[in-house]
């Protein structure tokens, strides 16, 4: 019999909250987490705002020594992982830790540490560079540190596929549990890219909105006046667990993850395939593995970046796959409120998808004042919607042409 995989715990770090309740409540209210950056001087930057996490209290829950030896992206992952473990009410003493793994994706890794240490190198020479640079910078260290913290000895690695990293990580974790290589995996994605260096690069390539005068209105997916995405930071983590294990310990089950589709555009380093072939294939493959038909889907948490081409191509792919049913779907973009978390985006948006299926509530897409030509799906404009959701998809697409789609359905019994 094929092993089934369920979601039993959730954890987040975001500009709209450091716990699931605050985070989801703020999303449902349509609150923006975007504001002027306060962490460092932005007066010389072309883009001066982001979805920044202010006053992150890492040492309230973790040792000061650990704080000094970890980059911000790893700290986010540790916080969200601990929250997810607590939410799942796991008894770590009863867990077979050889069958428990950690897979956390990151697109950029410790970019803040890299930037700080590079400045030291330029100003003071080689001896000024910290010996901790490498273990703080490499993208796999979030997975590594979480594994060390909990003592999990099962599959442990990082997925790096740009903005699809978190979704790919969850998909790979799903497959490992399904195949029997693990019984439980902490999985998701984490990113901390809000640095002057990183912002400058994205701004210079024309990817970011430059609406400094109205930062909370800058992220506007599917809107006629969108002009680029807003950089965000944070982490989304889920506990994936084999169904039998979850039922045995009487765990709360948010939903069942039942399909994972991955594809490549094989087209361009940053632009999506203009025909939407890769996005279409990822969604179609997820539905196939989930044994769901397009008409079974009630909701799609879209990639929805607020860039001209990306939004257009995603809507095109949805219409192609779903046909007339596309107009019966609820489609929203979490990025309208928390910006684009890059490697963490797919993971935190998967958390949102699980919450929507569990609570039958879909948050609004904010700033969608004037839908662009062809953007005529139900994007849940203006206010949240309550609707019975049986099954949903979560889309993530990354630079390099990486596409991932995760399918979940309501858990209705063993």
Residues designated as active site: 163, 303, 340
Rounded distance, CA 206 to CA 119, Å? 25
- Say how far residue 74 (Cα) sits from the centre of its chain: 15
Hey, how many other C-beta atoms are within 10 angstroms of the C-beta on 154?
Answer: 21
CA 230 and chain centroid, separation: 14
> Nearest 5°: CA angle at 196, between 190 and 202?
70
Identify the helix (H) or strand (E) that includes residue 66: helix 64-68
Rounded-to-integer distance, Cα 55 and Cα 276, Å: 40
Q: Are strands 299-301 and 391-398 parallel, antiparallel or unpaired?
A: parallel
Query: What is the residue whose two structure tokens read 């939407």?
Result: 276
DSSP state string for 149-197: HHT--S-EE---BTBTHHHHHHHHHHHHHHHTS-SEEEEEEEE---SHH
- What is the rounded distance in angstroms from the CA atom of residue 187 to the CA atom of residue 174? 9
DSSP-assigned states of every residue in 17-58: BSSHHHHHHHHHTT----EE--SS--TT-S--EEB---S--G
Task: Find out whether 144 and 155 touch, Cβ atoms under 8 Å.
Answer: no
Assigned token pair, 176: 């490992």
Angstrom distance (rounded) from CA 370 to CA 361: 24
Q: Percentages helix, strand, coil for the chain, rounded to the nearest 5?
A: 40, 20, 40
Q: Terminus-to-terminus CA distance in the chain, angstroms? A: 13
Q: Kindly give the interhelix angle for 20-28 and 345-359, rounded to the nearest 10 degrees.
A: 80
Nearest to 49 by CA among 36, 61, 30, 59: 36
Is residue 200 within 8 A of residue 349, CB to CB? The reply is: no
Tokens of residue 264, six digits: 């490549």
């Amino acid at each position: 019999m094929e092993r089934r995989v369920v979601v039993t715990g959730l954890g987040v770090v975001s500009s709209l909250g450091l716990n699931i309740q605050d985070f989801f409540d703020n999303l449902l209210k349509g609150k923006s987490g975007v504001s002027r950056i306060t962490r460092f001087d932005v007066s010389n930057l072309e883009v001066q705002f982001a979805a920044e996490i202010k006053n992150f209290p890492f040492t309230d829950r973790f040792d000061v020594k650990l704080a000094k030896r970890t980059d911000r992206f790893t700290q986010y992952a540790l916080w969200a992982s601990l929250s997810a473990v607590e939410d799942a009410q796991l008894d770590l003493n009863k867990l077979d830790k050889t069958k428990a793994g950690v897979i956390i994706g990151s697109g950029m890794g410790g970019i803040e540490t890299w930037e700080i240490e590079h400045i030291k190198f330029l100003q003071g020479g080689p001896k000024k560079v910290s010996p901790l640079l490498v273990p703080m910078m490499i993208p796999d260290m979030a997975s590594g540190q979480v594994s060390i913290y909990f003592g999990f000895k099962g599959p442990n690695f990082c997925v790096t596929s740009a903005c699809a990293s978190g979704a790919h990580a969850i998909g790979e974790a799903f497959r490992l549990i399904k195949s029997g290589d693990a019984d439980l995996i902490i999985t998701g994605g984490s990113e901390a890219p809000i640095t002057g260096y990183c912002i400058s690069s994205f701004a210079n390539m024309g990817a970011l909105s430059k609406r400094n005068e109205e930062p909370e209105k800058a992220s506007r997916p599917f809107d006629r006046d969108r002009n680029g995405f807003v950089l965000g930071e944070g982490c989304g983590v889920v506990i994936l667990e084999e169904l039998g294990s979850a039922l045995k310990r009487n765990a709360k089950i948010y939903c069942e993850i039942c399909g994972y589709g991955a594809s490549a555009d094989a087209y361009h380093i940053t632009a999506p395939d203009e025909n939407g072939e890769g996005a279409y294939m990822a969604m179609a493959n997820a539905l196939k593995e989930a044994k769901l038909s397009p008409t079974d889907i009630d909701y799609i948490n879209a990639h929805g970046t607020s860039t001209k081409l990306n939004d257009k191509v995603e809507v095109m792919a949805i219409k192609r796959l779903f046909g007339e049913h596309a107009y019966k779907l609820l489609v929203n973009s979490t990025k309208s409120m928390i910006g684009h978390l890059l490697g963490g985006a797919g993971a935190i948006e998967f958390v949102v998808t699980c919450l929507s299926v569990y609570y039958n509530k879909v948050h609004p897409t904010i700033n969608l004042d004037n839908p662009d030509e062809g953007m005529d799906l139900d994007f849940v404009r203006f206010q949240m919607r309550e609707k019975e959701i049986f099954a949903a998809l979560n889309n993530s697409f990354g630079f390099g042409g990486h596409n991932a789609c995760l399918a979940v359905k309501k858990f209705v019994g063993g």
